[in-house]
Amino acid sequence: MDSQIKAFVFDVYGTLFDVTAVKEECEELYPGHGEAISQTWRSKQVEYFMLRQLMGNYETLYSITHDALKYALNENKLKSSKENEQHLLDAYLHLPLYQEVEKVLTALKHQKLVVFSNGSHDMLDPLIENAGLKDLMSEVLSIDEIKQFKPTPASYQYAVDKLNLKNEEVLFMSSNGWDVSGAKSFGFRTAWINRKNLPVEELDLEPDYIFSDLNGLLKWE
């Protein structure tokens, strides 16, 4: 167990919450297309915020998520409407937690638990409140406050500054390999929540820990 760690910092989408669950809402509105829409929607969401970061053309993740949805519907040659788009966007405020999350966070509640996400507060705050996690988290940090998406060094520096900690005193958790790589490059201790049993990214940035789900964190219970 790493005794240096003073804060457990969690990514949100894919780490605490199952973003693939939106395929059910997509399937309800567009029978036979739910899986295809949801896969493109998520991949374009990530692609668009990285492109906007590179171009210096910031928009909130909520806006980017909407644009990614419109692309996914267009790619699948499906007619849309403002009502359908809003219905699917609202699903992002009610994503389900992975089954072990509440148990693990409750077991670690004596630790400093922090959410740190590319999501803007208009997405994050209702999501966390709807899931009943608000009282378990010490802080909810959004990159929207500095308009620098992870994995930029500036985004992780923002978290360090807000927490008033040294880099190595943070254990950062994410299911996204690119996010773990960014955090490791910055100097955080990292735990990759490898829910899909994927290989480590070829970036010479090996995670400090690799767990199949958050139960691996119970060593700090």
Mean pLDDT across 66-89: 95
pTM recorded for the entire structure: 0.93
Q: Among the options 2, 11, 135, 208, which is catalytic?
A: 11
Q: What is the pLDDT of residue 4?
A: 87
Quick one: pLDDT at residue 197?
94
Predicted local distance difference test score (pLDDT) of residue 159: 97
Number of neighbouring beta carbons within 10 Å of residue 81: 10
Instruction: For residue 2, indicate whether it is catalytic.
Output: no
Average pLDDT score over the chain: 95
Tokens of 25: 């809402």
Question: Residue 3 pLDDT more than 70?
Answer: no
CA distances from 152 to 10, 39, 54, 66, 156 (A): 16, 25, 10, 23, 7
Residue 67 tokens read as 């644009």
CB 1 within 8 A of CB 67: no
For residue 147, what is the DSSP state? Answer: T
Q: Which domains does the chain have, with CATH numbers?
A: 7-17+96-220 (3.40.50.1000), 19-91 (1.10.150.240)
Q: Is the peptide bond before 151 cis (omega within 30 degrees of 0)?
A: yes
From CA 201, how far away is CA 124, in angstroms rounded? 27
Question: For 80-93, how does the pLDDT look when each residue is reduced to its tens digit (9 = 90+)?
Answer: 899 999 999 999 99
pLDDT digits (tens, 9 = 90+) for 19-48: 999 999 999 999 999 999 999 999 999 999
| pLDDT, tens digit (0-9, with 9 covering 90-100), for 159-190 | 999 999 999 999 999 999 999 999 999 999 99
